[in-house]
């Protein structure tokens, strides 16, 4: 830090803390983003009650897809619901908060180790990358899976085989939660090689990691009479029948919205610095997973939260880049980059809101500080939707038998979850009149019956 700024350091840190608290405010009130998050909670309730096969009797591919590709989060939520007196909403909040805490803490430790930079360069990327915090303003499985994977990477630096086993187990849990997290495992051999070189200790370490990860992943799937092949097959089938248009150039915009313009410049500078210093192993360690994501998932980057698994890698590159920009001998390049990146950071935080996208919340490339009320309003709108549906169930419960016809996928799955939360269970279709059995779910609680008519057909060609 320049000498003239050192006397203001306490005020700068205080301002940074206030900024962080403001940007984190919507973390206190996460909500459902769409029907898939409600499906996770509903599957957890079905698992708790031993009725997971009745999650979707009309469209069983929903049970197979959500149940197999997101099994880790379902088991976690079901465990919370089974052991603690809480509803699905609080269980989801605890999953999100614990996942984010794990991701941030592990990323701080990894960025510090990988970059060797002072804390003033380590911490800012975690706050300045918009996609890290904003992807935690709503329920999803990306946050807990990325958190588990980041902690696993930290444990690879442990001294004992127990640490390696724990790392493998967490890798297995992360992949159970989101299949694409398996790409993070590509960094494990590089980390082990850095520590042990080409030695017997390296082979033993990797073998322990692989054995523990395989036991958790394959063993858990076996309990549900499935295999990793089934998970991959169901995932490919779902993507194929959705026929969602390739993201194409949108993938680049997804990256920019995740790291921000300043973050992208800093990370690029970090990669350039490693390349110029011929730090090939470090460059490979930090770039292999981002490159694999681009190679394995071309055209399939549709949501900003998909990049959460890259958090420690991109943040480390950004920390290296920031140190390269602000430290070292005075050069023409540094004289240009310093004010430029400071301007980018300021515009990203307090500039006029611009380049908004509403794919999963009110995201912007500039003016994040001014968008916090918009995020809170977006969350409040979802809570109002749930309150309306809850009131509808109250109205339906006052009659012996009622029918509810949702008009979209989100409302369909929200109602399913709310009915389960209210103590209803799914009855066998044969209890319905023949004309209803192929288009409706039958919920029963005591003498109250609710018929949920399913207008939305899942897994058809994607359209907006």
pLDDT digits (tens, 9 = 90+) for 220-246: 999 999 999 999 898 888 877 776 766
300: exposed, middle or buried (C-beta count within 10 Å: 0-12, 13-18, 19+)?
middle
- The answer, yes or no, to whether residue 463 has pLDDT greater than 50, is no
CA proximity to 46, closest of 429, 454, 419, 432: 419
When mean pLDDT is compared across 95-104, 294-303, 353-362, the lowest value belongs to: 353-362
373 vs 246: which has the higher pLDDT: 373
Q: How far apart are CA 324 and CA 320, in angstroms?
A: 6
pLDDT in tens, 382-409: 999 999 999 999 888 788 888 889 888 8
What pLDDT score was predicted for residue 241?
Answer: 77
pLDDT in tens, 174-210: 999 999 999 999 999 999 999 988 899 999 999 999 9
Selection from 9-13, 77-81, 358-362 with the highest mean pLDDT:
77-81
> Tell me, what's the pLDDT at 247?
60
Rounded Cα distance, 176 and 357, in Å: 30
How far is 454 from 386, CA to CA, in rounded Å? 18
Q: Mean of the per-residue pLDDT values for the chain?
A: 89
What gap in Å lies between CA 109 and CA 72, rounded to an integer? 24
Q: What's the pLDDT tens digit per position in 40-80?
A: 999 999 999 988 888 988 888 889 999 999 999 999 999 99
Length of the chain: 464
In angstroms, rounded to a whole number, what is the distance separating the alpha carbons of residues 355 and 343? 17
Average pLDDT over residues 261-280: 94
Q: Residue 5: its pLDDT value, please?
A: 53
- H-only helix segments in 330-367: 332-350
Question: Sign of the C-alpha dihedral, residues 39, 42, 48, 50?
Answer: negative
Q: Which one, of 422, 420, 412, lies nearest residue 391 by Cα? A: 422
- Of 310, 333, 331, 320, residue with least CA distance to 274: 320
pLDDT digits (tens, 9 = 90+) for 76-105: 999 999 999 999 999 999 999 999 999 999
The percentage of residues in the chain with a pLDDT greater than 90, rounded to a whole number, is 62
Distance CA 144, CA 77 (A): 11
Confidence band of 8 (pLDDT split at 50, 70, 90): low
Task: Count helices and strands (H / E) in the chain.
Answer: 20, 4
Domain ranges of the chain: 8-35+80-350
Whole-number Å distance between alpha carbons of 107 and 104: 5
**Model pTM score:** 0.92
CB 392 within 8 A of CB 418: no
- Do residues 417 and 390 lie in contact, with contact meaning Cβ atoms separated by under 8 Å? no
Sheet holding 448-453, edge to edge: 401-404, 448-453, 440-445, 425-426
Task: Quote the CA–CA distance of 226 and 326 in Å, as a whole number.
Answer: 52
Give residue for tokens 């430790």. Answer: 109
Are the C-beta atoms of residues 181 and 309 closer than 8 Å to each other? yes
pLDDT of residue 156: 96
Query: What number is the average pLDDT over the span 283-299?
Result: 87
pLDDT bucket at 22, cuts 50 / 70 / 90: very high
């Amino acid at each position: 830090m320049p000498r003239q700024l050192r006397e203001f350091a306490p005020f700068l840190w205080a301002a940074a803390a206030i900024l962080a608290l403001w940007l984190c405010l919507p973390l206190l009130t996460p909500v459902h983003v769409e029907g898939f998050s409600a499906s996770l909670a509903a599957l957890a309730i079905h698992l708790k009650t031993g009725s997971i096969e009745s999650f979707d009797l009309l469209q069983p591919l929903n049970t197979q897809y959500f149940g197999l590709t997101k099994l880790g989060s379902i088991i976690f939520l079901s465990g919370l619901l089974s052991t603690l007196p809480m509803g699905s909403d609080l269980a989801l909040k605890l999953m999100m908060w614990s996942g984010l805490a794990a991701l941030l803490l592990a990323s701080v430790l990894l960025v510090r180790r990988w970059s060797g930079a002072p804390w003033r360069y380590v911490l800012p990327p975690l706050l300045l990358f918009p996609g890290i915090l904003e992807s935690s303003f709503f329920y999803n499985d990306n946050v807990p899976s990325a958190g588990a994977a980041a902690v696993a990477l930290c444990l690879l630096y442990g001294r004992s085989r127990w640490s390696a086993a724990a790392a493998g187990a967490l890798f297995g849990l992360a992949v159970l939660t989101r299949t694409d997290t398996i790409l993070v495992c590509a960094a494990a051999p590089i980390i082990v090689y850095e520590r042990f070189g080409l030695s017997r200790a390296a082979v033993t370490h990797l073998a322990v990691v692989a054995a523990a990860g395989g036991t958790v992943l394959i063993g858990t799937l076996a309990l549900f009479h499935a295999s990793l092949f089934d998970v991959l097959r169901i995932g490919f089938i779902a993507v194929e029948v959705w026929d969602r248009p390739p993201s194409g150039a949108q993938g680049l915009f997804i990256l920019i919205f995740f790291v921000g313009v300043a973050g992208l410049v800093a990370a690029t500078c970090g990669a350039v610095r490693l390349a110029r210093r011929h730090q090939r192993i470090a460059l490979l360690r930090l770039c292999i997973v981002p490159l694999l994501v681009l190679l394995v998932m071309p055209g399939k980057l549709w949501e900003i939260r998909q990049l959460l698994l890259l958090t420690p890698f991109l943040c480390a590159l950004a920390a290296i880049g920031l140190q390269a920009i602000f430290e070292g001998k005075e050069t023409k390049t540094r004289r240009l980059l310093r004010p430029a990146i400071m301007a980018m950071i300021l515009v990203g935080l307090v500039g006029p809101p611009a380049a908004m996208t509403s794919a999963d919340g009110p995201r912007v490339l500039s003016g994040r500080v001014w968008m916090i009320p918009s995020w809170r309003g977006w969350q409040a709108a979802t809570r109002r939707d749930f309150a309306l549906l809850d009131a509808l169930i109250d109205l339906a419960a006052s009659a012996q038998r009622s029918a509810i016809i949702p008009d979209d996928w989100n409302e369909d799955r929200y109602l399913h979850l709310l009915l389960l939360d209210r103590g209803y269970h799914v009855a066998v279709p044969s209890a319905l009149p023949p004309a209803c059995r192929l288009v409706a779910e039958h919920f029963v609680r005591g003498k109250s019956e609710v018929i949920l008519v399913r207008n939305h057909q899942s897994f058809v060609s994607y359209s907006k």
